[in-house]
Amino acid sequence: MLAGNDPASEIYVRTKIKACADLGIFSEKIAPPETATTEELVAMVEKLNARPDIDGILVQMPLPKHVDSRRVLEAVAADKDADGFHPINVGYLVSGRPAPRSCTPAGIIEMLKFYQIPMAGQHAVVLGRSDIVGKPMALMLLHQNATVTICHSRTVNLPEMCRQADILVAAIGRPAFVTANYIKPGATVVDVGINRITDVAEGLRLGRTEEAVRKGKAVVGDVHPLDMARVAGAYSPVPGGVGPLTIAMLMSNTVELAELHQNAG
């Protein structure tokens, strides 16, 4: 469900639809107008909940400002929650029970496993406390036996706290905010941010080309890309690092929900 006209959201939804097509998963885009009310969106979600041919529902965020996003997200049935945001599924994550997991942090765990980055016993610092990334990321790292610290905009001595991290996950939503003095030499840095750069001078300072900036294709994460490459022992680039994994985990959640429904039937 894509409500409104957010350009970034439209790109993300196109990417998700393409991934479904590549994997042979049926997808259906529902695009209510920008003026749709909370009640109208909830009613649309409830119709999808009732459809036996739909295994997973995704409400693309952000919703228009006048909409109560929490009400719409919580209207999605827990057993059709492809994003892993429903309070029941968050509760299952806390208790370590199987359920759809929030896609970005789940993808990060898979990436760390794939590259054999040790998590058990390591100090992981999560920079950001959102319900979508920061909090579930901390819980998933805890389930991997990491020692976890959550930092945020109100954290005192933030660079010093981040410098303690063996694994630093940056999800604070500020372009190139994390510079060299936040990174312990040799640390693994996972950059969750996606920030579009429109100023040519800033783009050049961050290692992006003038052409990329002018075409609207200059993107940086929450970590300064040149500092990250210089100081970190391993890092995920932006673009191309965490983003594709988020899509992959969305597909994985959808397949698992479909199997759950088949087994229940």
Render pLDDT for 53-100 as a digit per residue (tens, 0 to 9): 999 999 998 899 999 999 999 999 999 999 999 999 999 999 999 999
Q: How do residues 158-208 score in pLDDT, each as one tens digit?
A: 999 999 999 999 999 898 999 999 999 999 999 999 888 887 888 888 888
Name the domain count of the chain.
2
Domain match, 140 and 80 both: no
Domain boundary among 38, 70, 97: 97
Domain match, 51 and 174 both: no
- 16 assigned to active site: yes
- How buried is residue 261: exposed, middle or buried, by Cβ count under 10 Å (0-12/13-18/19+)? middle
- 144 assigned to active site: no
Most confidently modeled range among 19-23, 61-65, 207-211: 19-23
Domain match, 59 and 156 both: no
Q: What is the mean pLDDT of residues 226-231?
A: 95
**Domain hosting residue 47, numbered range:** 7-97
23 to 18, 168, 199, 251: CA distances (angstroms): 9, 32, 38, 8
| Res. 156: pLDDT tops 90 | yes
Domain match, 122 and 237 both: yes
* Catalytic residue of the set 16, 80, 135, 184: 16
| Res. 240: pLDDT tops 70 | yes
* Catalytic residue of the set 55, 60, 135, 166: 60
Domain match, 63 and 191 both: no
Q: What is the mean pLDDT of the chain?
A: 93
* pLDDT score for 179: 96
* Catalytic residue of the set 55, 80, 81, 83: 83
How is residue 114 written in tokens? 């794939």
254 within a domain of the structure (yes/no): no
| Owner of token pair 């929650």 | 81
Q: What is the mean pLDDT of residues 47-51?
A: 97
| Res. 12: pLDDT tops 90 | no
| Res. 262: pLDDT tops 70 | yes
Domain match, 134 and 84 both: no
* pLDDT score for 216: 77
In the chain, what percentage of residues exceed pLDDT 70? 100
Domain boundary among 41, 64, 97: 97
Domain match, 189 and 108 both: yes
Domain match, 17 and 126 both: no
* pLDDT score for 205: 81
12 within a domain of the structure (yes/no): yes
Domain match, 46 and 131 both: no
What CATH number is attached to the domain comprising 87? 3.40.50.10860
246 to 72, 84, 120, 190: CA distances (angstroms): 21, 12, 23, 13
Q: What is the mean pLDDT of residues 235-250?
A: 93
* pLDDT score for 7: 74
Q: Would you say the pTM of this structure is higher than 0.75? A: yes
- 80 assigned to active site: no
* pLDDT score for 265: 66
For the chain, give the secondary structure using H, E and C. CCCCCCHHHHHHHHHHHHHHHHHCCCCCCCCCCCCCCHHHHHHHHHHHHHCCCCCCECCCCCCCCCCCHHHHHHHCCHHHECCCCCHHHHHHHHHCCCCCCCHHHHHHHHHHHHCCCCCCCCEEEEECCCCCCHHHHHHHHHHCCCEEEEECCCCCCHHHHHCCCCEEEECCCCCCCECHHHCCCCCEEEECCCEECCCHHHHHHCCCCHHHHHCCCCEECCECHHHHHHHCCEECCCCCCHHHHHHHHHHHHHHHHHHHHHHHC
Domain match, 192 and 233 both: yes
* pLDDT score for 199: 79
265 within a domain of the structure (yes/no): no
Q: How do residues 111-130 score in pLDDT, each as one tens digit?
A: 999 999 999 999 999 999 99
Domain match, 29 and 114 both: no
What CATH number is attached to the domain comprising 179? 3.40.50.720
